[in-house]
């Protein structure tokens, strides 16, 4: 596929993008973690975040009017810094559009939006340990590895 990367447009997701973002999240979970997500739960979760800025927001990458990728941002308060970290999550780009700057465009837009707000102290994301391709992309965009490991308890 020969495409002009300058035709990739990044915008904030709207409520009518929720089904497509949910489908992307389902595909991403299966591809990266071999995990099957409940479509009703993920669609409700995406719809809730798209309509409630307190939870976060999504960006989508479009090519010729077609949504080809998404990126979610959620918030973490840091009392150490008296500011918010933006967490990038739910990153997905359709396979035929990978390595065509879709994620890079969404990441740059995230960075621009964060830089406009004085209370944002950083941008973070987590990556599967075995996902070397994604890790190399994030490092090439200027992100760096931290000394933290991620732990969790699910309910």
Domain spans of the chain, in order of start: 7-140
Per-residue pLDDT of the chain (155 residues; tens, 9 = 90+): 445 556 899 999 999 999 999 999 999 999 988 999 999 999 999 999 999 999 999 999 999 999 999 999 999 999 999 999 999 999 999 999 998 999 999 999 999 999 999 999 999 998 888 888 888 889 999 999 888 888 888 89
Main-chain dihedrals φ then ψ at residue 24, nearest 5 degrees: -60, -45
Supply the pTM of this predicted model: 0.89
Token couple for 19: 């089904």
Contact present, 17 and 60 (Cβ < 8 Å): yes
Domain 7-140 has CATH 3.30.300.170: no
């Amino acid at each position: 596929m020969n495409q002009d990367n300058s035709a990739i447009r990044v915008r904030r997701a709207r409520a009518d993008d929720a089904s497509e973002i949910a489908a992307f999240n389902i595909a991403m979970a299966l591809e990266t973690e071999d995990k099957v997500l409940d479509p009703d739960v993920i669609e409700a979760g995406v719809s809730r975040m798209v309509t409630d800025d307190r939870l976060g927001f999504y960006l989508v990458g479009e090519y010729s009017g077609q949504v080809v990728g998404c990126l979610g941002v959620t918030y973490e308060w840091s009392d150490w810094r008296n500011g918010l970290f933006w967490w990038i999550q739910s990153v997905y780009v359709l396979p035929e559009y990978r390595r065509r700057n879709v994620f890079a465009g969404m990441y740059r837009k995230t960075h621009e939006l964060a830089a406009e707000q004085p209370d944002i102290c950083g941008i973070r994301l987590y990556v599967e340990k075995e996902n070397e391709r994604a890790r190399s992309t994030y490092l090439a965009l200027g992100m760096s590895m931290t000394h933290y490991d991620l732990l969790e308890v699910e309910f």
